[in-house]
Amino acid sequence: MLLPKGYRLTAITDWISLTLMLSAALAFARNAFGSNHRQRLVWILLGVGYAVEAGGQVLWMHWDLVVKKTPAMSLGDACIFLAWTAVIMGFALRPHVEPTPQHQRLGTFDLLLLLLAGLYLYLFLVIPWQYLAPEPQTYGPAYMFLALAEDVILLSIVALGWRHSSGRWRHFYALLTGIVVFDTIMEYIVDTIPNAVAFSGGWYDGATAAGIAGMTLAALMAYRLEPVSEREDPDSERYWRLASRLAAPFTLILPLLAAWSFHDRSVPVPVWQFRVFLSLAAVVVFAAVGIVKQARLETELANANRELLDASLTDLLTGVRNRRFFTSSIETDVQQVLRSFGGYSPTDVRNRDLVFYLIDIDHFKKVNDQFGHKIGDQVLAEVARRINSAARLSDAVIRWGGEEFLLLSRYTDRKEAHILANRILDSVGSKPYHVEASKADLRVTCSLGWAVFPWTESDPKLVSHDQILVLADFALYQAKGSGRNRAVGLLPAGETVRAGTAAPTIYINGIPASPVTTPGPSLEPITAPGPTTPSANTIAASAT
């Protein structure tokens, strides 16, 4: 304000502007640390925008202080345009919003398409009058049009953020709205007055410096400011849907621009040739990005469908499969077994059986009665984990219902089925279950019944897999009735386990079978914590 127009004033003003641009870039970049992935991208884009603008300022300083002649058309204008494009993209991602499924609508490819659209417009409207047919009279209005368009877009975004935010975020957007309004007015004024009034170090540079300083202040206000959730917000849904579709109409306009450029011969030949080539190249680039985006969306959709299917086949509490999984997959397993018995040579008879193990937790009602359903759920989940640890990768553990599990052992040998039964008994009952927030350790055991499919090797289709499940359930009933903490398996009459002795024949629904009994580990029964005297507050709470 005190210095006269001249070199010294220009130098000091340029250095102040460069310092403020770098301060804004560093302030926004600092916000990226400790932010979530989506918010980090916002701060990085804003920091990069002001870093690019600082690069353009260095060019201006070179012309002002070294060359001492400012060109009417320069690369610095392109730096400013790209810088504000990055700033627009950053604020379009709405830093105040917690990432949601709606937030993901504006993805990487959408941002890339918007960036390419802005770059195309600059190349189409401005670059020809700067390099191909230099005309400052045409270059100036074209650049001013794009700059004002960017200001209007940015103003719409920050004003919308101001409207839909609250608390400190509302103050953040209010400051941004004021800065953009002020900058837009100043830019319009300086573009419409004679060049003699606007000079380096003049009042316009002071206004610009104030705007950049305001951006630094806004970045400091948002440091470690937690984003807010906009889940189920219809306004947020509309915003992300519109933002993700902005590039699509532009892609459709590109062929029209190419055709218009080809038929518009009022401009110099190099200009219309460049525009036609640029538009056709943009059509190819936009189409390629669109194809890649579509392929990615299809992959994401397939993954989402696969995750939904997997979730529908998984028990939420224990993490093992559910009965729907059994219903959808058992026929495949059965047909695999039937094919193996129909195609194998008589000498290759191992590891082609399907064994059904039904597992029931002993005295599980006592766990719920003594410790509550929360502890009961924890015990169920731990039992499922231990059964899984005893099973092989090819086996399937299924929560059959309540405290009962089904283990499908694929590609196994019936004569060694009792070995897996013993491993399950030991895994479930060998170690105590620590009760959360209690000094007690639970001793949990299980009873197990198993049967093999096919029932007879000579006629694999004689007994269906549904009947095998009935046999396994009968064997489980026998294990529970004979003292629990043991496994009872059923084989066709006359068959025995490997290295075992012949068992007496029993008949289940007319099917002759030989039971195979495997005792479980010798353990103490379930223990409960010692009695405690409740406090008066506890008694009052219980009464309530």
> Which of 102, 110, 106, 92 has the alpha carbon at shortest distance from 229?
102
Express as a percent the part of the chain with pLDDT over 90: 41
Residue at token pair 């943009």: 282
Tokens of 119: 């770059």
Query: 448 has which bridge partners?
Result: 359, 487
How far apart, in whole angstroms, are the C-alpha atoms of residue 206 and residue 450? Answer: 86
User: Between the CA of residue 185 and those of 178, 189, 310, what are the distances in Å?
Assistant: 11, 6, 57
pLDDT of 499 strictly over 60: no
Check for a shared fold between 7-245 and 323-519.
no
> Which of 217, 199, 228, 193 has the alpha carbon at shortest distance from 28?
217
Strand (E) or helix (H) holding 443: none
Query: How many Cβ atoms are within 10 Å of 471's Cβ, its own excluded?
Result: 25
How far apart, in whole angstroms, are the C-alpha atoms of residue 275 and residue 493? Answer: 88
Q: What are phi and psi of 227, to 5 degrees?
A: -70, 160
- Lowest-confidence region among 127-141, 344-358, 383-397: 344-358
Express as a percent the part of the chain with pLDDT over 70: 89
pLDDT range class, residue 391, cuts 50, 70, 90: very high
Q: Is the dihedral of CA 122, 125, 128, 129 positive or negative?
A: negative
pLDDT of 525 strictly over 60: no
Residue type, 147: A
- Lowest-confidence region among 154-168, 416-430, 484-498: 484-498
Q: What's the average model confidence in pLDDT over 428-455?
A: 85
β-strands 404-412, 433-434 pairing: unpaired
pLDDT of 533 strictly over 60: no
**Hey, what CATH topology would domain 323-519 get?**
Alpha-Beta Plaits (3.30.70)
Q: Which are the contacts of 198, defined by CB distance < 8 A and separation ≥ 6?
A: 190, 204
How far apart, in whole angstroms, are the C-alpha atoms of residue 187 and residue 206? Answer: 12
pLDDT on residue 437: 59
pLDDT on residue 102: 57
Angle between the N-to-C axes of helices 167-192 and 136-163, in degrees from 0 to 180, rounded to the nearest 10 = 160
Q: 527-531: long-range contacts (C-beta < 8 A, 24 or more apart)?
A: 527/440, 527/441, 527/442, 527/443, 528/370, 528/371, 528/440, 529/435, 529/438, 529/439, 529/440, 530/439
What mean pLDDT, rounded, does the chain reach? 84
pLDDT range class, residue 154, cuts 50, 70, 90: very high
Burial class (CB in 10 A: 0-12, 13-18, 19+), 323: middle
pLDDT (tens digit per residue) in 292-310:
888 888 888 888 888 888 8
pLDDT range class, residue 242, cuts 50, 70, 90: confident
Tokens of 278: 């640029």
pLDDT on residue 503: 62
Strand (E) or helix (H) holding 14: helix 7-31
Residue at token pair 């925008």: 49
pLDDT (tens digit per residue) in 258-275:
888 888 888 899 998 999
pLDDT of 372 strictly over 60: yes
User: Between the CA of residue 122 and those of 37, 53, 70, 258, what are the distances in Å?
Assistant: 30, 16, 21, 15
Higher pLDDT among residues 342 and 125, named by residue: 125
pLDDT on residue 407: 96
How far apart, in whole angstroms, are the C-alpha atoms of residue 360 and residue 137? Answer: 87
Domain spans, the chain: 7-245, 323-519
pLDDT on residue 399: 93
Per-residue b or e along 45-62, where b marks 16 or more CB atoms closer than 10 Å to that residue's CB: bbbbbbbbbbbbbebbbe
pLDDT on residue 349: 58
Quick check: 428 and 338 in contact, CB under 8 A? no
> Which of 454, 173, 229 has the alpha carbon at shortest distance from 333?
454
**Hey, what CATH topology would domain 7-245 get?**
Rhopdopsin 7-helix transmembrane proteins (1.20.1070)
pLDDT of 233 strictly over 90: no
pLDDT range class, residue 530, cuts 50, 70, 90: very low
pLDDT (tens digit per residue) in 63-106:
888 988 878 788 888 999 999 999 999 999 889 888 766 566 66
Structural Rg of the chain based on CA atoms: 38
pLDDT on residue 439: 67
Q: Is the dihedral of CA 289, 291, 292, 294 positive or negative?
A: positive
Q: Is the dihedral of CA 368, 371, 373, 376 positive or negative?
A: negative
How far apart, in whole angstroms, are the C-alpha atoms of residue 231 and residue 274? Answer: 47
